[in-house]
Structure 1
């Protein structure tokens, strides 16, 4: 699926409106999307009312140092895994006090994939506490740019759905 800049802007604007109405704040913890979720959210004027910030933790060392992801989770499951994105959410919430955190870690390509985790595999998590965190894996098609665009859109839509269930 080809995701356009307009689709990303619409999703970011919609989520921003929802967060503004709810009076809640968000922090992003991103790996393969490189801060793109935070970028889309902050493209909207007035986003400082609900975006606390974003952490780009591309390396495993950064995931550990900035978000408290455990070496055990990284060793046993790899960076692209449910335990790691759950720990990314928990770490981002703990570090910032945001109401909601979203985490993204995946294999955008063109290299880096494996039989178990092919290019296009992306893990997501969002939540307001470790107990409320939802984790989802998706497999996207396309080149690096399209995998990342699809991941950003899915993350924004996932947070939107999560907020609407609160």
Structure 2
């Protein structure tokens, strides 16, 4: 799951790039928009739009996931709440409980506790600290450098002899 939080502008990430109104108001890359020539088309003539829809050129890795059928985009979603506080709105979204700041866990942590894990890695947040959406998830790990992240444990071996010895003991 890729959960984009904070300052991600949905109309700059997933844009109706050939819509005349979008082009007039936001189609200039200098304004963060997507020029028609730079858009990465994902679903021509999408049922939700009357124009072609594309990803921002900097989102090429997301397009690869989308094209492979491993990414669904939920566009223009949010809260039905009239708070004028960005921070309250983020808290409601992360906890999954509009109008209730007293929830002691995040929506993603509650979801993860209800599904069977399909891997051996813990939940990984690409951030200096786990987001509120993972509050209450005991296996959540936060790191700003996934390339240097490693797991310690007896299963990690620096040579094949140690690995063979361990496997023989099982």
TM-score tier, shorter chain, comes to: under 0.3
TM-score scaled by structure 2? 0.19
TM-score scaled by structure 1? 0.20
Identify, as 1 or 2, the structure richer in helix: 1
Task: Work out which of the two has the higher radius of gyration on C-alpha atoms and give 1 or 2.
Answer: 2
Identify, as 1 or 2, the structure richer in strand: 1
